[in-house]
Amino acid sequence: MQFRASLRSTLFAIALIGTAAPAMLAQDSTQEVPSAPSATAAPAPVPGKPQFPPVDPKNFTADTPTKETVDAFLHQLWGYDAQRVWQVQAIQKTAAPGINKVTVLAAQTANPTQIGTLQFFTTPDGQHLISNEIMPFGARPFDGIRKILQTEANGPSRGPASKDLMLVEFADFQCPHCKVAQPTVQKLLQDFPNAHYVFENLPLTSIHPEAYKAAVYSACAAKLGGNDAFFKFADAVFDDQANLTPEGADTALNGAATKAGLDPAKMTACSQTPEAKSAVDDSLKLAQTLNIVETPTLYVNGRGVPFNGVPYETLKQIVAFQMQSDK
């Protein structure tokens, strides 16, 4: 369930300009676009191609980032979509030293008349952009988060040991959207058998009072029965999610333990140990490091993708693109 807008969702919203978010596109189109030279005639319309305004060299007043870096960044965001086209319209200095403004026009070849505008600012170190939030930027914007996850995402896992393609899901057992997302996860793992998948607990205790207890029990399932027992337990908890209430949580969690082939008494005893709670707390610290504030959130080799509102075929395209890009 969404807790508040996160970096991942904002970044993905930017990535959907011109396709899945026409309302946002219309809003973005009201932003100021640097003017084109009046003496230059506009090119004749070409079927299937957007008629972007001519680029004015006078609108490129900053040395960084380069147009090549911006294009590489956008390729990382949008390269999974063969219909997406864009044009870097301006890279300009601002009154703040080292902070420069980038303007990009984007459209779909399937709908070339609808052109969206993306504007953001880049930081002096060239590693971040500022839009509604501070986000990673550069030719390889997801590499930093990918390295963190490869090192610190140590939750229960499925698939091969290789982390060449690594999917990390942060989820809350009491979150309805997390329950709905599980078949999507299963389908991705079927379509990408080479994926190393990791489940990380992110109980949003301010809105889900039983989520932390469920997370601790799940840590015990992994400790007592390994990965297979954990995922059987997790499936059973999601199936019986409606009973994760103050009155029914113990029964629901013990029932899930039985379905996973685990001893409910041992699970209850384990759940009282500092070790079990520490496993959940470590996952929460990792989520805090990455500024994750909504569930479910999926990372594909460090690229954050919210599940909500993302069609499966688009999600599959992103995974395939990121896998190829990171070879």
The domain limits of the chain are: 7-139, 145-322
Please tell me the predicted confidence (pLDDT) of residue 44: 52
Please tell me the predicted confidence (pLDDT) of residue 43: 53
Please tell me the predicted confidence (pLDDT) of residue 308: 72
Please tell me the predicted confidence (pLDDT) of residue 30: 27
Neighbours of 58 (CB within 10 A): 11
Please tell me the predicted confidence (pLDDT) of residue 47: 55
166-171/157-158 β-pairing: unpaired
* Residue 176 preceded by cis peptide, ω within 30: no
What spatial distance separates the first Cα and last Cα of the chain, rounded to whole Å?
A: 33
Backbone angles phi, psi at 60, to 5 degrees: -110, 80
Please tell me the predicted confidence (pLDDT) of residue 32: 38
CATH H-level superfamily of 145-322: Glutaredoxin (3.40.30.10)
> Which H or E run contains 163?
none
Please tell me the predicted confidence (pLDDT) of residue 325: 94
Contacts of 274 (CB under 8 A, 6+ apart): none
Please tell me the predicted confidence (pLDDT) of residue 13: 46
Per-residue DSSP letter, 34: P
Residue type, 38: S
Please tell me the predicted confidence (pLDDT) of residue 22: 28
Residue tagged 């060299």 (tokens):
57
Q: How far apart are CA 216 and CA 254, in angstroms?
A: 13
- Which parts of the chain sit beneath pLDDT 50? 1-42, 45
Q: How far apart are CA 321 and CA 323, in angstroms?
A: 5
